[in-house]
Amino acid sequence: MSDVAGVQRSFVRAAMNAPFLERDEERALAVRWKDNKDEYALHRLASAHMRLVIALAARFRHYGLPMPDLVQEGHVGLLEAAARFEPEREVRFSTYATWWIRASIQDYILRNWSIVRGGTSSAQKALFFNLRRLRARLTRSGEERISDKIHQEIATTLGVSKADVATMDARLSGPDVSLNAPLLDDDSGSAAQRMDFIPDTSPLQDEVVGEGIDSDRRVKWLRAALAVLSERELRILRERRLNEEQATLEALGDRLGISKERVRQIENRALEKLKRALIERHAHPEAVLV
C-alpha cells in the first residue's frame, strides 16, 4: 500500500509542477493535435491541465469513491475535451475542458456510487449533485423547518418534482443494504435474511399444475369443436382469431376474392357455430372462447 501511495503522491506532485501554458503556446499545441494528431502535443496539453483534473476531482471526494478513480475519470474527460476542442474559437482550453472533466467524473459517480442505478437525465443529475448543498443552505441553524417544505423549495429551484427530491434524499441518507444480509448478528449463518421477508407473488405449484391441466383440456375441446366449420370458415377463423399475427378484414378479403364485409359475416357465423358446438358438449363455453 505504501508503494501505491508513493506513486500517487509522485503523480500529484508531477501534475502540480507541470509548467503552465501561455495562450499562444496552448493554441499551437491544440492546432498540432487537431490537424496533425501530434501525440507529443496532446501529451503536453494534457500534462499542463492535470492539476485542473485533480482540483475538480477533489470537489467530489465526499461521495466516498477512491480519489485515484475520480482523477482517472477526469483524465478521460480531459482527453475527450482535447479531441473536441476547436482552437479557432479563441477560447482557453481550460475553460472548455472544465465541462468535460466534470461531466466525466459525475457520470462515473452516478454509475458507481450505489448498486441501485439512479436517473441519468440532466434534471436527475442536477438533483443528485445539488441536493446536499441546497438542503444545507435551506436548513438554517437554530431554525426548525419541515422536511416537506424543504423538499418543495428544492424541487422548485431545480425544476423537478417534490417526489423525486424526497426519493433522492432518502437514497443519499442511507447506504445500500444487501437483501442477503442477516437481520440479526449470527455467526452460524442460519439467521433470517431480508430476502426471506419479500412476498412471493408467483402462483403456487398446485395452481400452476391445475392451470396446465385446464389449458390442455380447453385445447382438446376447441379442436373437437372446430370440426363443425367449413374449410373457408376455418381458414377465416384461424387467420382472424387463432394466429399470432391477425389478418385484417380487408387483407383476408383480397386473398379470398370477397369483400371485407363478407369476411366479417363469415367470421361471425363461424363463431356462432363454434359456440353452439361447445354448448352441446360443455356447460361453460366462455372458458374456451375468450
175-227 tens-digit pLDDT: 555 666 666 665 555 667 666 666 767 777 777 677 777 677 777 777 777 78
Task: State the amino acid at position 214 in one-letter form.
Answer: D
| SS3 track for 154-187 | HHHHHCCCHHHHHHHHHHHHCCCCCCCCECCCCC
Distance (Å, rounded) from C-alpha 208 to C-alpha 52? Answer: 62
pLDDT, residue 290, reads 46
As its CATH architecture, domain 7-113 has: Up-down Bundle (1.20)
Handedness of CA 39, 42, 48, 52 (dihedral sign): negative
pLDDT of residue 13: 77
Category of 257 on φ-ψ map: left (φ > 0), alpha (ψ -120 to 50) or beta? left
pLDDT exceeds cutoff 90 at 79: yes
Residues 134, 135, 136: CA angle, nearest 5 degrees: 90
Q: How far apart are CA 253 and CA 207, in angstroms?
A: 42
Q: CA nearest 114: which of 73, 161, 168?
A: 168
pTM of the model: 0.50
Burial class (CB within 10 angstroms; exposed 0-12, middle 13-18, buried 19+) of 157:
middle
Task: Give pLDDT tens digits for 94-109.
Answer: 999 999 999 899 888 8
pLDDT in tens, 239-267: 888 788 888 888 888 888 899 899 899 98
**Domain spanning 209-287: which CATH class is it, in words?**
mainly alpha
Distance CA 154, CA 118 (A): 18
Distance in angstroms between the alpha carbons of the first and the last residue of the chain:
69
What whole-number distance in Å separates Cα of residue 69 and Cα of residue 36?
31
Domain coordinates of the chain in residue numbers?
7-113, 119-174, 209-287
